A = this chain, B = another copy of it.
Amino acid sequence: MKKIIAAPLCLCAAVAMAQKPSEYNLDGKLYPQINEDRSVTFQFSAPSARSVTLNLGRDYGMTKGERGMWTVTTDPQVVGFHYYSLKIGGLGVIDPAGQTFYGTSKYSSAIEVPENESDAAFYTPRKDVPQGAVRSVRFHSDVCNEWRRMYVYTPAGYYDDPDRRYPVLYLQHGGGEDETGWIFQGRADVIMDNLIAEGKAEPMIIVMNSGYASNPGSSDSFDAFEKMMTEEVIPFIDGRYRTIADREHRAAAGLSWGAKQAYDLALGYPELFSAAGGFSGIIVVGEFNVHNPGIMDKTQRKAAYNGIFKDVKKFNKDYSLLFISTGQAEGTLLKEMSRTLKKDGIKNTYFESKDTAHEWLTWRRSLYNYAQLLFKK
């Protein structure tokens, strides 16, 4: 009898699950909706528009229905965080129904295609987990001659023991994103809270800066970023937080475009850093273009970063971690880079995110794996 009563209830639950508003929708907004097969249904009211196109990975033409409501259902999507945009007559617009995230060099719409609960647990807040703090910190950069903002994560318990000092990870976003990316898209704070609570990662401070930096009157440059980070940000953080201010307790990591910046810091300043992480980003040697073999060429590799890879023994002794990761759907380049370095004798850890591409789920998983190896002798 119980079973018969239960059956329609289960059905209701299944129906309720089958179509679900995206978690980034504003209060009361029903669309976009994530369907059970991971396709996404979009609705957008534009009575006077002659064409509306959705871009989610690829373009989808939307169909006009009653009262100027345009609609489309996409192909099934891979799980994770994806930017999307709408085009009205060729013009890109932000969906007014949802939260915006700074990405693709502007404020962008996005959806989260949920994983199953157990896979998503590592970046899901839990009531029983003590929470670290994320602070928005203004600082004036003389290098860039501007006020800038960084995000600083301090682990739970940071204020319980005023004598305890912590290692620091400098963590960079990707191209077209900014210092907010690792918190809002990446959920770095939740990932770290959970890892630390489970004893899987060392409690650490994480410092997130915008990778865009320029000398006054110039364009953004990697040089200005490096100068700002090494001459201003690191001393600022060491002066203001209870850090262990030596190379053994300082690491850099970054994703995509920010992976290059992390390598520039960690491999370019061995006196400051002892660990590097590059998520979905190659170590750039010389000018990066398709005709330059770069890191895959032994001669260039030996010349990279003032010859950091030349003395294999010294590198393996000096660097506690070189972590290389990629999404499985991104291809084999980074796997090959890891292998090539290993063949040279350069110790490194390779991580591949199952089924994901050049996207935030790859990088959440990368941080999750990287952080567990960091600052452990």
A212→B49 CA distance, assembly (Å): 33
Given A94-B100, A100-B94, A137-B133, A105-B48 contact (CB < 8 Å): no
Q: Does A303 contact B (CB under 8 A)?
A: no
Q: How far is the CB of A359 from chain B (nearest CB, A)?
A: 21
* Interface contact A134-B135, CB-CB below 8 Å: yes
Other A-B contacts than A48-B91, A88-B91, A96-B107, 4 sampled, CB-CB below 8 A, are A94-B94, A96-B106, A136-B136, A138-B190
Number of copies: 2
Contact of A92 among B48, B96, B140, B212 (CB under 8 A): B96
Q: Would you list 19 pairs from A and B whose C-beta atoms are within 8 A, ordered by A residue? A: A45-B91, A46-B91, A48-B90, A48-B91, A88-B88, A88-B93, A93-B93, A93-B94, A93-B96, A94-B96, A94-B100, A94-B107, A97-B106, A98-B107, A99-B107, A133-B137, A134-B136, A138-B190, A159-B159
Nearest opposing residue in chain B for A27, CB measure: B212
Q: How far is the CB of A214 from chain B (nearest CB, A)?
A: 9
Task: List the B side residues contacting A125 at CB < 8 Å.
Answer: 138, 140, 147
Of residues 121 through 145 on chain A, the ones whose CB sits less than 8 Å from some CB of chain B are: 125, 127, 131, 133-138, 140
A107→B100 CA distance, assembly (Å): 7
Q: Does A47 contact B (CB under 8 A)?
A: yes
Task: List the B side residues contacting A48 at CB < 8 Å.
Answer: 50, 89-91
* Interface contact A91-B135, CB-CB below 8 Å: no
Nearest opposing residue in chain B for A152, CB measure: B133
Nearest opposing residue in chain B for A105, CB measure: B26
Q: How far is the CB of A149 from chain B (nearest CB, A)?
A: 10
A93→B97 CA distance, assembly (Å): 11
Task: List the B side residues contacting A136 at CB < 8 Å.
Answer: 134-136, 183
Interface string of A36-60 (1 = CB under 8 A from B): 0000000001111110000000000
Nearest opposing residue in chain B for A93, CB measure: B93
A92→B49 CA distance, assembly (Å): 12
Given A96-B107, A133-B135, A137-B131, A27-B220 contact (CB < 8 Å): yes
Nearest opposing residue in chain B for A85, CB measure: B96
CB-CB nearest 5 A-B residue pairs: A48-B89, A94-B94, A100-B107, A93-B93, A133-B135
